[in-house]
Amino acid sequence: MASLRQLLDSLSKEQRRNQELLASLAFALRSFTNLGRFLELVPLVATRLVDAEGALLVAFLPDGRLWREQLHGGPAELLRQVASLSDAQFQQASGDEAVASLLDALVRRQLADRPLVATSLTARSRIRGRLYVYGAKTGFSWSESHRRHVQLVADLAGVALEGDDLLQEARRHERLDRQLSTGAAIQAQLLPDQCPVIEGVELAASCRAAFQVGGDYYDFIPTRPQLLGRMREQSRWALVIGDVMGKGVPAGLLMTLLRGMLRAEVLSGHPPDRILHDLNQLAQEDLSQSHRFVTLFYSDFDPRTRLLRYANAAHNPPLIWRKLRHAVERLDAPGLLIGLQSEAEYGCEQIVLDPGDVLLCYTDGVTEASGLNGERFDEERLVKALEAACRSGVGAQGILDQLFARLDRFVGSDRQLDDDASMVVLKVREEVMLPSLPH
């Protein structure tokens, strides 16, 4: 009876010890901030759990290569042999089972006279490493309980490796989000934060990006930036709207590049068709390497004569509300996409705006916006919305607000736009008509 009691006490102590070891490893798994420190515990805990002589932990990188910085345990010669395996050997042993067989053969050669058990560190059906536990040369045997304990330790190690992958991925996403936020802030600064004062007209503009960084662009550029005050307000201004094919960061970077080229070209004083011709040649190499193209509507407006000259590089033709006729017309001119052909030619047209006329420039994100039923907003709806806004008698900002409100109702207030949507409104102020005096 005394011997039986001693055996039970011994088993109870061993069970409590094993529970404490597993609990400590589980606690370390919940709270670890350093993967290497946690993995150092794995062979130690596995060894003590089964009263073995030692253990070796071999971890793999997420791409399947040997993670040499995460080899833990011993013996030292075996560690050196495993670390000397080349990436080419791992690539040749394609597949989890082949890699496990390669390692097992090496370990068994080094520990040929030791009782050995090997198991995989698995997470989400992927083998993330191998755990080897070996006993003394004599007096050691493996039980089913030993094997279960070793497997449990290996599973916890697999969870740790997978958790570290997810943590690193989350950190990469955080860094990318910060970079995108920075890029969005920089791009927002490149778009005019407010419309300039041009004599005789009202201006309003807005861009809604589908992503943090977008490919839409609009600008108001003085053709004689050296002028100040009223002389600047009365000078000719360039009004531009464009769209890089594509979305996100690449489109935003290209549009930023084009903005710098265009602003430099405006200073030449050339007419709109020449501006687009030169811009197309300047941007040809950069756009051809990116395999992207740009649509661009370029115009210049003279407040003294109300003459609008314009050229179009395959952009959506702007709409103009003619106050006297109460009708909407399209402004278009022949021309190819920027970056499509090096020697492209562009036509130049012109129109005199009358008091009360409204010019609307927009990108295809407006007309191609999809509604709840899958239909596109299309140009016809935009024309009707423009007519209604112009008939209401509000100013440029009021017209812009009504147009975006109509677009929001069509798309749905809780839905994201599929593409960047930008609109620029220019309204010619209506002249005050004084009554004629009798003779």
pLDDT tens digits along 201-244: 999 999 887 765 557 889 999 999 898 999 999 999 999 999 88
Enumerate residues 6+ apart whose C-beta is below 8 A from 250.
290, 292
Following DSSP, what letter does each residue of 360-395 receive, concatenated? EEE-HHHHT-B-TTS-B-HHHHHHHHHHHHHHTT--
Are both 386 and 334 inside the same structural domain?
A: yes
Are both 144 and 251 inside the same structural domain?
A: no
Are both 230 and 349 inside the same structural domain?
A: yes
Amino acid at 176: L
If we measure between CA atoms, which residue out of 366, 358, 291, 356 comes closest to residue 319?
A: 358
Angle at CA of residue 388, ends 194 and 410, nearest 5°: 80
Residue 296 lies in a domain: yes
Are both 164 and 198 inside the same structural domain?
A: no
Residue 312 DSSP class: E
Are both 136 and 222 inside the same structural domain?
A: no
| Residue ranges of the chain whose pLDDT lies below 50 | 432-436
Are both 390 and 289 inside the same structural domain?
A: yes
Q: What is the pLDDT of residues 209-219, one digit of tens each?
A: 776 555 788 99
Are both 127 and 6 inside the same structural domain?
A: yes
Are both 280 and 383 inside the same structural domain?
A: yes
Residue 178 lies in a domain: no
d(CA 358, CA 149): 79
Please, are residues 344 and 336 in contact by the beta-carbon 8 Å criterion? yes
The pLDDT of residue 296:
93
The pLDDT of residue 282:
86
Are both 37 and 141 inside the same structural domain?
A: yes
- Domain of 61, CATH number, reads 3.30.450.40
Angle at CA of residue 376, ends 361 and 335, nearest 5°: 40
d(CA 73, CA 57): 6
Residue 125 lies in a domain: yes
d(CA 212, CA 188): 10
The pLDDT of residue 231:
92
Amino acid at 21: L
d(CA 116, CA 104): 10
Residue 149 lies in a domain: yes
Whose tokens are 């404490």? That residue is 20
The count of structural domains within the chain is 2
Are both 328 and 220 inside the same structural domain?
A: yes
Question: Three-state DSSP class for 48?
Answer: helix
Are both 132 and 222 inside the same structural domain?
A: no
Please, are residues 58 and 130 in contact by the beta-carbon 8 Å criterion? yes
Residue 433 lies in a domain: no
Domain end: 170, 202, 231, which one?
170
- Domain of 306, CATH number, reads 3.60.40.10
Are both 108 and 213 inside the same structural domain?
A: no
Residue range of the domain that includes 136 = 2-170
Q: What's the pTM value of the predicted model, to 2 decimals?
A: 0.62
How many Cβ atoms are within 10 Å of 279's Cβ, its own excluded? 24
